[in-house]
């Protein structure tokens, strides 16, 4: 908090010094006096824009008025508000500056309230998605375990194993969803700081594919990555989580999929990650809210099958945004869906080579 006060004070002082220096240039070098007041009003505008609250803007307004009267109006280098011209000029400048400061501060508060309102809206959407995502696997686990307890005597060993495998699968999915939920809440609350370390793309992909194949050994993935070494500054664990979530989303929701492709290529100073399938694609209405975890209609909920993409894709968007990247989902003209996100790359030094 104290550091914030120091920062705001330094911004105010620097803005006034710059305005004073520019005014000296106008008056003594360019012989242009009529814009001096405008320069100080602009300085007050910047102070109000870059600092918090009314205080610094109002202080800058009074300081600017005194500076103009002292150094740029006759008599020079003397405070004189006794003449009608100086008095009116001072009142007008203070009024304009204070009103400007008040307006900017009010706009900033309005934007802050709007942002908070949107955040609450997103939290409500996330809660709705969580409720829906948890219901199906929990119901399945409860039903399967009840069946096993009540009818185990009349079941074959193969039937029992099949039920237990179903319980295990749903339990693993619940664990992953809880991990996703913890990640998104920690990132949103600022409890987790993104610590970027230079990561070799090939090593990142190898780790992702290893984890994915443990979960889905029967699902093949076509991998396409650059031949040259690519280094990206990321939190490797979080980016792995993003890629696995998107791959898992394709397995769970791309009905009719026969091909899953994971491609990475460089474009300028960015690495583009692209995961595509040839399945059923995404409901066009769902595309608008796919990264919010929010379903806009009961139809979308019904279309989302057993396990929803809501939380997992919300996590993906949050992690990529925290890395300063962008993420997008769209349907392909040839059929199926494609998820694409971009991250900055890092130049490889000679030592690294």
In a domain, 6, yes or no: yes
Tens-digit pLDDT profile for residues 220-236: 999 999 999 999 999 99
In a domain, 77, yes or no: yes
- In this structure, the answer to whether residues 200 and 317 fall within a common structural domain is yes
What dihedral do alpha carbons 136, 138, 143, 148 form, nearest 10°?
140
> Which of these three, 59, 92, 113, is where a domain ends?
113
> Which of these three, 86, 113, 140, is where a domain ends?
113
Tens-digit pLDDT profile for residues 122-179: 667 666 666 766 777 888 899 999 999 998 888 999 999 999 998 998 888 788 777 7
62-87 mean pLDDT: 79
In a domain, 152, yes or no: no
Does residue 295 have a pLDDT over 70? no
- Beta strands 197-200 and 231-234: pairing type? antiparallel
Q: Please report the DSSP string for 192-253 in residue order.
A: S----EEEEHHHHHHHHHHHHHHH-TT---EEE--SS--EEEE-HHHHHHHHHHHHHHHHHH
Split into its structural domains, the chain has a count of 2
In a domain, 133, yes or no: no
In a domain, 202, yes or no: yes
pLDDT recorded at residue 351 = 52
- In this structure, the answer to whether residues 98 and 221 fall within a common structural domain is no
- In this structure, the answer to whether residues 211 and 337 fall within a common structural domain is yes
In a domain, 334, yes or no: yes
State the pTM of this model. Answer: 0.59
Angstrom CA distances, 129 to 140, 244, 296, 310, 353, stand at 18, 20, 11, 6, 46
> Which of these three, 113, 129, 155, is where a domain ends?
113
pLDDT recorded at residue 161 = 92
- In this structure, the answer to whether residues 105 and 199 fall within a common structural domain is no
Boundaries of domain holding 63: 2-113
Collapsing DSSP to helix, strand or coil, 141 comes out as helix
In a domain, 181, yes or no: no
In a domain, 120, yes or no: no
To which H or E segment does residue 40 belong?
helix 36-50
Contacts of 269 (CB under 8 A, 6+ apart): 344, 345
- In this structure, the answer to whether residues 206 and 297 fall within a common structural domain is yes
């Amino acid at each position: 908090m104290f550091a914030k006060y120091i920062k705001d004070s330094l911004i105010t002082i620097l803005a006034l010094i710059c305005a004073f220096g520019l005014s000296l240039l106008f008056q003594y070098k360019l012989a242009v006096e009529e814009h001096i007041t405008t320069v100080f009003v602009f300085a007050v505008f910047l102070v109000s824009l870059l600092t918090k609250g009314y205080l610094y803007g109002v202080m800058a307004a009074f300081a600017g008025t005194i500076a103009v009267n002292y150094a740029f109006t006759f008599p020079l280098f003397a405070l004189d508000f006794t003449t009608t011209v100086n008095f009116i000029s001072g009142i007008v400048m203070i009024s304009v500056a204070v009103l400007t400061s008040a307006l900017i501060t009010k706009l900033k508060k309005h934007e802050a309230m709007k942002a908070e309102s949107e955040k609450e809206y997103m939290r409500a959407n996330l809660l709705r998605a969580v409720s829906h995502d948890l219901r199906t696997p929990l119901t399945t686990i409860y039903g399967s375990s009840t069946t096993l307890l009540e009818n185990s005597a009349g079941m074959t060993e193969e039937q029992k194993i099949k039920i237990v495998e179903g319980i295990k699968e749903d339990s693993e999915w619940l664990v992953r969803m809880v991990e996703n939920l913890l990640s998104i809440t920690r990132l949103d609350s600022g409890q987790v700081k993104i610590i970027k370390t230079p990561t070799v793309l090939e090593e990142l992909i190898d780790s992702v594919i290893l984890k994915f194949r443990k979960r889905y050994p029967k699902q093949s993935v076509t991998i396409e990555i650059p031949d040259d070494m690519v280094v990206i500054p990321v939190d490797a664990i979080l980016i792995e989580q993003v890629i696995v979530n998107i791959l898992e989303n394709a397995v769970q929701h791309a009905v009719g999929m026969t091909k899953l492709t994971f491609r990475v290529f460089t474009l300028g100073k960015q690495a583009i990650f692209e995961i595509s399938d040839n399945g059923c694609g995404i409901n066009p209405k769902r595309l608008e809210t796919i990264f919010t975890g929010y379903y806009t209609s009961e139809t979308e909920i019904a279309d989302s099958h057993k396990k929803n993409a809501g939380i997992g894709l919300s996590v993906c968007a949050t992690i990529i945004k925290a890395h300063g990247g962008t993420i997008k989902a769209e349907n392909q003209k040839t059929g199926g869906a494609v998820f694409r996100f971009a991250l900055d790359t890092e130049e490889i030094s000679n030592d690294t080579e």
